Amino acid sequence: MAKNNKRPTSWATLLFYGVLGVTILVYVLRGFAVLSMLPGGVIWFLIILSIAAGVLATLVNLRRSY
């Protein structure tokens, strides 16, 4: 019988998915003019936060693999 080698999802990966989801949601809603009063700096902040969370998730997952 085959073993299940799938590891549980780390907290950093869940954080990345959450931040990325909020970023995409805000970007789409701003495109539909629902959040048109939001300044562009907020979008850039969310994009940079998504990148940072992705790097953190990658580092945590690399550390867990050893």
**Cβ within 8 Å of residue 22, ≥6 positions away:** 46
pLDDT of amino acid 2:
59
User: What are the pLDDT digits (tens) for 14-55?
Assistant: 999 999 999 999 999 999 989 889 899 999 999 999 999 999
pLDDT of amino acid 3:
62
- What is the spatial distance between Cα 58 and Cα 15, in angstroms, rounded to a whole number? 12
